[in-house]
């Protein structure tokens, strides 16, 4: 009984340490002086990720297809005392991808982190009804542009001894669902979630910061699901 009690005590202390580490109590600014690019980062999940990376010490360059969205995001985050700049970037355009990388290099001397968040979902419906044009658009942005964006930053990461690339995708890759347009469909969708609620953008941000930190130095090539318990196995 004493051994069991000791074991439980050790487990409790270990779990407390894990919780402290995850909450930032034991390590401040885990991304200090890192330079991060986040695509499609002026609202929603991308914006929350950009904010969290900056809160954890990184110099962040946000981007969007529209200048007014970039200006709004930069103003908001700089107003919070965060090191954030931004530029227009349509990831499907080579010149925009080049400008995004060049902005980071000019302002901060290099690139350590790429969070590829830009993607499109131009069609909801039966797969056989998707046109060739739709397929081309999805593959150009969601697949090809992501690969080319990664290709653009790798040389800069190599100059700094390495880096982190995090690609954000939809849970629909594992568990397709209809595009809800009313409250009834939304409530029905919640029934498939173990947590029984729709996630918030900021709930995706912490894991991205962790994956870009030294705490994740031995993690690579993994798919990490932030899905509220949604079935997520092919």
What are the two backbone dihedrals, phi and then psi, of residue 115, each rounded to the nearest 5 degrees? -110, 110
Distances (CA, A) of 103 to 14, 97, 108, 165, 212: 43, 10, 8, 18, 20
Residue position matching structure tokens 């964006």? 149
Residue 13: the pLDDT is 42
What is the DSSP track for 156-184?
HHHHTT--EEEE---GGGTS------SHH
Residues 6 or more apart whose CB falls under 8 angstroms from that of 45 comprise 117, 168, 201, 204, 205
Residue position matching structure tokens 């690609």? 167
Query: Would the pLDDT of 5 be above 60?
Result: no
Task: Annotate 43-60 with b (16+ C-beta within 10 A) or e (fewer).
Answer: eebbbbbbbbbbbbbbbb
Distances (CA, A) of 201 to 51, 78, 80, 163: 11, 19, 18, 24
Q: Which residues on adjacent β-strands are paired with residue 74?
A: none
Query: Would the pLDDT of 23 be above 80?
Result: no
Quick one: pLDDT band at residue 227, thresholds 50, 70, 90?
Answer: confident
Query: Which has more confidence, 4 or 175?
Result: 175
pLDDT digits (tens, 9 = 90+) for 30-46: 999 999 999 999 999 99
Report which of 92, 110, 130, 233 is spatially closest to residue 174, judged by C-alpha positions: 233
186/164 Cα distance (integer angstroms): 34
Mean pLDDT within 109-129: 92
Quick one: pLDDT band at residue 234, thresholds 50, 70, 90?
Answer: low
Residue 104: the pLDDT is 98
Residue 172: the pLDDT is 80
Contact 226, 208 (CB under 8 A): no
pLDDT digits (tens, 9 = 90+) for 90-112: 999 999 999 999 999 999 999 99
pLDDT digits (tens, 9 = 90+) for 69-85: 999 999 999 999 999 99
The 3-state DSSP class for residue 27 equals coil
């Amino acid at each position: 009984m004493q051994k069991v009690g000791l074991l439980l005590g050790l487990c409790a202390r270990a779990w407390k340490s894990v919780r402290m580490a995850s909450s930032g109590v034991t390590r401040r600014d885990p991304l200090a002086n890192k330079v991060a690019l986040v695509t499609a980062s002026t609202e929603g999940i991308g914006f929350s990720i950009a904010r969290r990376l900056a809160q954890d010490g990184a110099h962040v360059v946000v981007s969007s297809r529209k200048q007014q969205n970039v200006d709004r995001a930069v103003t908001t985050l700089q107003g919070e005392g965060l090191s954030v700049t931004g530029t227009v970037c349509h990831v499907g355009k080579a010149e925009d991808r080049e400008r995004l990388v060049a902005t980071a290099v000019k302002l901060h001397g290099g690139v350590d982190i790429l969070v590829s968040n830009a993607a499109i979902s131009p069609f909801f419906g039966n797969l056989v009804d998707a046109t060739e044009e739709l397929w081309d658009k999805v593959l150009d942005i969601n697949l090809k542009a992501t690969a080319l964006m990664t290709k653009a930053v790798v040389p800069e990461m190599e100059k700094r001894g390495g880096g982190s690339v995090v690609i954000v995708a939809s849970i629909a890759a594992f568990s397709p669902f209809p595009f809800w347009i009313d409250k009834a469909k939304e409530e029905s969708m919640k029934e498939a979630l173990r947590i029984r609620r729709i996630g918030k953008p900021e709930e995706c941000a912490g894991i991205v910061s962790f994956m870009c930190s030294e705490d994740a130095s031995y993690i690579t090539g993994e798919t990490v699901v932030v899905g509220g318990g949604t079935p997520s196995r092919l």
